[in-house]
Amino acid sequence: MRNIFCNLFFLSFCGFFLVNKSSAQSNGDILLSTGIQFYSVRDEGFSAMNYQGNKSTSTLGFSLTKENKTLYFLGDFSYGILANNSGATVNELGLNYSHFTFYHKQKAKDQGFFWGWSNKNSFHLRRHNNFSNYNFRYDYYSALGPAARYVLPFQWKNKTFTWRSMASWQLVGFQIKSGYIGAEPENYQTENSLFNNFFNTVKPFIPFKDLDIGLNSALYWKLPSNNELGLRYQFNYGKLSGIKNVYRMDHSIDLSLIVKLW
């Protein structure tokens, strides 16, 4: 038992040392935001009509700026009730997790244009409120692609502002979504194991045939506390192909706060 505690203490000490050493050579921030999202979706599994409306959205993120690269880890949640032209409604819930890496080996890390890559994981649930049968559908995909970032700091009336924009295009990955009838994906069998069902139902995310394009742009004001308060606009367009295609587009405006950790 004594040896276990000694080993735990040693590991904790090493972790503390590494974290502090890393902190001294990097910058860490937390991103918090909340706002309104205008969302439009057409799931051919329900109908050929568009369902649209406003959703509430929130984001929690972390950014780590190192000597040669900047990393972003972003998770967001959205929920709302959508309607078509006939008055039918759909409850829609969205969960996204995205990772961005941008490189700045021989240039200033807080100003200019940067290239990188991104990975997006997106999960959406839809429940049709006017159907008694087959009223539940979902989709999930994970994809990789190129990304770009632009940062422009400037002064105005003795205040410091920063304009930050990011764009991404997911190209290659995989998807799982509801099939022709009902919530279960195509080729799903209840008697199969979870492992077998995963490989039977997963489909490729193919460039141009499947699509996810994202853009966000924000203006931040640097506060006396060294934190930043901003207004952010986000746009996303996506398509998942298959027996029943899914199309979606959203615009959102949110209030954003960047909290400096170190």
How does the average pLDDT of the chain come out, rounded?
Answer: 89
**11 pLDDT tier (thresholds 50, 70, 90):** low
Residue-level pLDDT at 8: 47
- 183 or 12, higher pLDDT: 183
50 domain residue, yes or no: yes
User: Is residue 1 one of the residues assigned to a domain?
Assistant: no
Per the domain annotation, does 180 fall within a domain? yes
Within-domain flag for 4:
no
Q: What percent of the chain lies above the pLDDT cut of 90?
A: 73
138-155 pLDDT, tens digit each: 999 999 999 999 999 999
Q: What pLDDT digit, counting tens, does each position of 165-192 carry?
A: 999 999 999 999 987 766 777 777 676 7
| Domain enclosing residue 112, as ranges | 27-260
Between 4 and 258, whose confidence is greater?
Answer: 258
Query: pLDDT per residue over 200-229, tens digit each?
Result: 789 999 999 999 999 999 999 999 999 999
- How far is residue 44's CA from residue 184's CA, in Å, rounded to a whole number? 15
Please indicate, yes or no, if residue 253 is contained in any of the structural domains: yes
The answer to whether position 190 is within a domain reads yes
User: In total, how many domains does the chain have?
Assistant: 1
CATH number, domain of 108, equals 2.40.128.90
**pLDDT at residue 9 in the model:** 44
pLDDT band at 64 (very low <50, low <70, confident <90, very high): very high
Residue 12, domain member (yes or no) = no
Structural tokens at position 99: 């990772």
Q: Is residue 15 part of a domain?
A: no
pLDDT tens for each residue of 13-45: 445 444 444 455 789 999 999 999 999 999 998
| pLDDT at residue 102 is higher than 90 | yes
Which of the residue ranges 9-18, 43-52, 107-116, 143-152 has the most confident prediction, judged by mean pLDDT?
A: 143-152
Q: Which pLDDT score, from 0 to 100, does residue 182 have?
A: 66
β-bridge pairing 159-170 and 136-156: antiparallel
Burial 41-77 (b: 16+ CB within 10 A, else e): bbbebbeeebbbbebebebebebbbeeebbbbebebe
Q: Which of 213, 212, 250, 252 is nearest to 232 (CA)?
A: 252
